[in-house]
Amino acid sequence: MVRSVLFVCLGNVNRSPTAEYIFRAKLNLPKAPGGSQGPLYVASAATGGHTEGDPAMREMIAAARKRGIDLTPHRARQRSSLTPPTENTQQGQFALAKLLRVLGGLSWAGADFETFDLIVAMDRSNLRNLSSMCPPQQKHKLKLLIRDYAPQCGTEEVPDPYYEGGHLGVFDLIEKGIEGLIEKEGISA
């Protein structure tokens, strides 16, 4: 059963936060990260650190707003610097991951692979980056959003609007992927 999902893209300012906030909206989870989320935990992060602390891009905020989603609370985080929530039904799992990092020398990256049930990349480059760091026994958790959950869209990847524009189309593509993920994985709040 899927109880935790991490969405990942290059900068965590367009695609992965959009996926996180659409996922939250579809399952009626709290709109902003950080508080108690009940039995389900969702987060987003970057594979790169060049945007750490930045808000979502204003073009993505505008596109999301047109679809009824507010991305303004979001701040970019690098995947390896995620802080697990303090209030969560999986608190023991997150505490164990933190303890393993301290005692066993695991990096945040290793703990992320242990902590999250699914780690969903937006494109093949993100997936390759994740796969290169992922312990072999955790590789089954790595997914590509469109290829694995919305193959009917005719593409495998979510294009990066940072370089290519088309923020509203990217939002709609991500939404189809999230709907497929929720259905295929049988996720409910």
Question: Which residues belong to the active site?
Answer: 9, 15
In b/e form, how buried is each residue of 128-157, taking b as 16+ CB within 10 angstroms? Answer: ebbeeebeeebeebbbbbbbbbbeebeeeb
The residues, ordered by sequence, that sit 6+ positions from 12 with a Cβ below 8 Å of its Cβ are 44, 45, 46, 51, 76, 77, 78
In sequence order, the β-bridge partners of residue 7 are 44, 120
Tell me which DSSP letter residue 84 carries. Answer: P
Element of type H or E holding 118 = strand 118-121
How far apart, in Å, do the first and last CA atoms of the chain sit? 12
Q: How many CA atoms lie within 13 A of 157 on its CB side?
A: 12
Query: Cα–Cα distance between 162 and 165 in angstroms, integer?
Result: 6
